[in-house]
A and B are shown apart, each in its own frame.
Chain A
Amino acid sequence: MNQLNLDHATASAVFNKNEPRVDWHDETLWFVRAKRDRAAALIPEWEDLREAASQIKNHVLSNMHDLLVQFEENARKNGIHVHWAANADEHNDIVLGIIQKTGANRMVKSKSMLTEECHMNNFLTSHGIEVIDSDLGERIVQMRKEPPSHIVLPAIHLTRADVGETFHEHLGTEKGATDPQYLTEAARQHLRDTFLTRKVALTGVNFAIAETGGFVVCTNEGNADMGAHLADVHIAAMGFEKIIPRAEHLGVFLRLLARSATGQPITAFSSHFHKPRPGQEMHLIIVDNGRSRQLGRTEFRNSLKCIRCAACMNTCPVYRRSGGHSYHSAVAGPIGSILAPNLDMKLNADLPFASTLCGSCSNVCPVKIDIHDQLYKWRQVLMREGYGTTGKGAAMKAMATVLESPRLYRMAGKIGRGVLRFSPAVAENRFNPWFNQREMPAPPSESFRDWYVKNKKS
C-alpha cells in the first residue's frame, strides 16, 4: 500500500485495477452518505442549523485572535497547561518534551487528524516512544503500517477478511476469522490492557470553548475517555480553528456533527474536559502549521470552518472510486484537497484536480464551506504559480488559440471528424487520456454550423 509517492490520478488507476473492490468501496461509502440523508431529513430545521453553524464559524474566523486569547486565559485558570506550536515540528517537540518529563516511554492515543498532519507517531517512535492508536479503525491501519484512508472511518478501505488477517498476525485471533463481533472483542481486550497501563494519553479536540476554557472530544468507542481518565498526563492537541465562542454554540455543532458524519443523532460520548482530575496533569497544544496563512487567503479561508465530519468524502464520486490513500494527505477527499495545497503547493498540486466539480460536497457540508468553488479556484492559483503539468498547460493554450479563431475552430472540427471516421487509431490509443476509460463518440457527418448554413430559411 505504498501509494504515497504517486499523484492522485496514478494512485487512483492502481486502486481501480480491482474493479469489484472499487465497487464495494463506492457502495460502502454511499451507504454512509444515505444514512446521513435520513438523519438530516428528520430535522425540519436542518438547513437553518447549517446556516447557523456557518455564521458562527464565520464569526470565529473574524474574531480568531481575541477568542484564542480568551480561551487560553480561561484554560489556564482551569489548571490546563497551554502550549503554542507554530508548526508540526514544534508540536511534536512539545509532545515529546511532556512525555519525557514524565519518564514514560509509551503513550495511548485517540483519533487526532492533527497528529497525522504532523506525522507525530513516526517522530515519537524515532525517539523511542511507543504510540498505540486506540480507535479501532486507526489501530487496524497502524498494525498494517498504513495511514488512515478516511478521517472518520480510518479503515474503510479494508474488508473484514483483511482485518481478520491483520488481527491473526498481530493479536493471535483465529486464522480466517471475519466476524466483526469476534474481531472487535479481540481488539477490546488488547486495548483495555493498553488503557490500564499507559501513564500518558493524547486526544484530539473537536471543539474548544473560549468562554469556559474547556474542550470537547467526541467518540463512539469511548477510547478517548478510557485513555484520558486513566492516564496521569492528558495531552490534547488542536488546530486553532477548533475554537467556538460559547458552550451553547455546541448545541448547533453537536446536532450537525454525527448526523453529517455517520447518520447517528450524536456520538456515543461527547466529553467536555475543563479541569484535570485531582492529581492529573492536563496539557493543551494550540497548533498553527499553516492555518494563519490560510486565514489570510481570502478565497480559501473558509476551509478553516471544517468540523471534520467527512460528509464531503462520503458523497464525493471521485473519493468513493479512488480511495483515501490516493490523496497522499492526512485529510483526504474534497476538504483535504483544499487544505493540502496550503500546506505544500508543489506536493499537493494534483489534488484540486481530483474532482468533477459536481458540487455535492458543498451541498452536504454542515458548515457550508464552498468546497467545489475552492477546488476550482485552487486550480487557477496552481496553474498561475506554475504547479500545473506542462502537458496540461500546453493543451490549454492550444485550445484557447483554436477557440479564439472561428476559422481555426472550423478547420479543427473538420480534421477531427475526418480522423475519427477514417483513422480512429489516431485518437483511440493509450496515449490519449480521454480514451483510457471512454469510447470515443461516433463522428457526425457534418458540423452544426454546416447543417445550419444548409438548412436556414432565408
Chain B
Amino acid sequence: MTSREQILANVKANQPALHPLPEQFRFTSVFPDIVQQFMDILAFVGGKAERVSDYEAIKKHIQEYYPGMTNVATTIPELASLADTTLAVTDPHDLASLNLAIIEGQLAVAENGAIWLDERQLPQRVTPMITQYLAIVIRESTLVPNMHDAYQRITVNTTGFGTFLSGPSKTADIEQSLVIGAHGARSLIVYMLP
C-alpha cells in the first residue's frame, strides 16, 4: 500500500460522520465612506493613499515624490514616460535592481487595505516584492467593503498566481518593534482614480 492509499484509508476510517457546511459564512460590512475607510486602513498598515483626478496627476506626484529615481518600470501605458526599464523580463532575477514599480490593482478591499493582483497585473510574480518601492493605481469603483465581497468578485485561479497585498512589507520580529520594509517593498503608495 502506498503512503497515499494508507493515509486516505486512515482518514476515511477515522473521520466523523458528515457535518454540513454552514449556510451563513458571508457577512456584510457597512462603512459610512468606503473610500475614506480604505485610505485610513491603508495608512494603518503602513501605506499611503492619494486621490488623484487622472494619470497626469499621478505622473506629477511620482516625479515630485521620487525625484531623480532611476530603474523605474510600469505596466501602465499612460505612465510609460516615467519608466526607464521594463517589467517584461523572462528571468525574474533581472528585476533585482528595480527601484520603483508602478502597477495596476484589480480590486481593493476597504476593511483591510488589501489590493488583489494577479498575473494580468504582474508580468513577473515577484514584482511587488522585489522592487524597492511600489506604487499601485486603482479605480475607486473597484472598492469593495470586505473579503467576502472580494471573493465574490475575483476568480482566484484565472491565472496561476494572485495575491492580496496590504501595505508595504513589514516585520515586528525584533522585540515587537514595527519595521517597514522587511524583504519586500519599503513603501507603498496607492493612487486612487475616480
Contact = CB atoms under 8 A, between A and B. Distances in A.
Interface of A: 28, 31-32, 45, 48-49, 51-52, 55-56, 58-59, 61-65, 68-69, 78, 84-86, 90, 134-137, 140, 153-156, 158-160, 163, 180-181, 183-185, 188, 191-192, 195-196, 209, 212-214, 220-223, 225-226, 229-230, 240, 245, 247-252, 254-255, 262, 264-277, 286, 288, 292-293, 295-296, 298, 301
Given A271-B163, A277-B160, A62 B15 contact: yes
B19 A59 contact: yes
B81 interface: no
A136 B173 CA distance: 6
Nearest to A110: B183
Given A52-B22, A286-B7, A251 B147 contact: yes
A31 B147 contact: no
Contacts of A209: 156
Contact of A269 (B7, B179, B184): B184
21 contacts: A49-B27, A56-B21, A65-B15, A78-B157, A84-B4, A84-B7, A90-B3, A135-B173, A136-B171, A188-B183, A191-B183, A212-B157, A220-B171, A220-B172, A222-B129, A248-B148, A250-B156, A254-B164, A265-B41, A269-B164, A270-B114
Contacts of B189: none
B108 interface: no
Contacts of B92: 229-230, 277
Interface residues of B, number: 73
Given A59-B21, A62-B19, A64-B15, A181 B27 contact: no
A136 B165 CA distance: 19
Interface string B63-96: 0000000000000000000000000000011001
B112 A266 contact: yes
Contact of A223 (B93, B152, B182): B182
B10 A288 contact: yes
Contacts, number: 260
Nearest to B148: A251
A255 B28 CA distance: 12
B16 interface: yes
Interface string B150-183: 1110001101111111111111111111010111
A180 B125 contact: no
The 8 lowest CB-CB distance pairs between A and B, nearest first, are A222-B184, A275-B160, A296-B14, A265-B112, A221-B182, A137-B173, A229-B126, A292-B10
A231 B93 CA distance: 9
Contacts of B185: 222
B37 to A, nearest CB: 11
Contact of A275 (B111, B114, B161): B161
Contact of A45 (B27, B130, B184): B27
Contacts of B128: 222
Contacts of B96: 196
A52 B171 CA distance: 30
Contact of B177 (A180, A223, A226): A180
Given A85-B3, A296-B13, 6 more contacts: A55-B22, A188-B182, A229-B124, A230-B93, A277-B124, A292-B11
A240 B21 CA distance: 19
A221 B169 contact: yes
A293 B14 contact: yes
Interface in B1-32: 2-4, 6-8, 10-22, 24-27
A112 B130 CA distance: 22
Nearest to B118: A272
A440 B96 CA distance: 66
Contacts of A223: 182-183
A292 B14 contact: yes
Interface string B95-131: 0100000000000010111100000000011101110
Nearest to B5: A84
A155 B175 CA distance: 8
Nearest to B147: A251
A266 B109 CA distance: 11
A32 B166 CA distance: 20
Contacts of B41: 265
Nearest to B124: A229
B58 to A, nearest CB: 23
Given A68-B8, A220-B169, A262-B172, A277 B15 contact: no
A222 B182 contact: yes
A267 B114 CA distance: 9
B173 A140 contact: yes
A156 B174 CA distance: 7
B44 interface: yes
Contacts of A84: 2-4, 7
A86 B93 CA distance: 36
A225 B129 contact: yes
B174 A78 contact: no
Contacts of A90: 3
B192 to A, nearest CB: 18
